[in-house]
Amino acid sequence: MTTHDTPPTAAPVPAAPATLPATAPASVPGRRLAALGGLALIAGAALYTAGIATSPPQASESTADYIASLAADPALTQLSATLLHFGNLFLALGFLAVPGLVRGARGGWLALVGALLATLSHALVSGWVLFDFWTMTIGLELDPATAVAVSEAVQGGPVFGVLSMLPMLNLIATPLVTVGLARAGVVPWWLLAFAIVPTLVMFVVPFTPALFASVAAVGFVPAVWFGVAILRRVRAERSMGV
């Protein structure tokens, strides 16, 4: 008698769901972080401007006058340094969210490189301004000549000199971000003027708190624009359930 082996029955394969959930759980933290980044840019610009506005006035750019100005009003010095510290810290964190505005390859690398340079620059300055507490203290505790000698000795070190130059990266950071986002169609090209002109003005006019705070406020128009654009993008994605 001939027998026929019955082939084993394959296990049933579960059918794929017809539709995926409208919002993947992993996208929620990403949206929240992006929103926090947008808020950080706006808050950082406001705090930084307030920090400049409350900077103690100084008679000249000399080391002696700088130390004397910080020591003359310790409460104002500490307020200004704290505002500048958190302003730069929030800006450093906020710029990390900016490259997410680009959809596609056009302008993406420029926005990414510029955002990373801006983050590095503002992070360095956030720690740098805390140096004002030390400068204020030597102005209070030491005679003027000794305070100047100590300050110049600290700043004369080669590592200190290199570190003091790194925040200058921000001179190209915001323009790079603006060009990248403009190429991607996220921001208008005329916004580039706000990323360049105020910085040039600060190099040619003497420091006064009120004037520099006004110029800084104008210079932060791009950062605030980026922050608002991020918040709008997050709101739009939330409303579409993406």
DSSP state of 166: G
Whether 4 is in a domain gets the answer no
Q: Judge whether 31 lies within some domain.
A: yes
Look at residue 72 and tell me whether its pLDDT is greater than 60. Answer: yes
Give pLDDT tens digits for 176-198.
999 999 999 999 999 999 999 99
**Tens-digit pLDDT profile for residues 79-110:** 999 999 999 999 999 999 999 999 888 999 99
Query: Residues near 179 by Cβ (< 8 Å), separated by ≥ 6?
Result: 107, 110, 114, 192
Determine which of 16-20, 62-66, 103-107, 213-217 has the lowest per-residue pLDDT on average: 16-20
> How confident is residue 129, by pLDDT bands cut at 50, 70 and 90?
very high
Is residue 170 a part of any domain in this protein?
yes
Q: Within a domain: residue 2? A: no
Domain annotation covers residue 106: yes
How many residues are there in the chain? Answer: 242
Is residue 1 situated within a structural domain?
no
If you write DSSP's letter for every residue of 106-143 in order, what string do you get?
TTHHHHHHHHHHHHHHHHHHHHHTTHHHHHHHHHHHS-
> 104: domain range?
27-240
Query: Is 210 a domain residue?
Result: yes
* pTM for this prediction: 0.85
Provide the domain count of the chain.
1
- 132 falls within a domain: yes
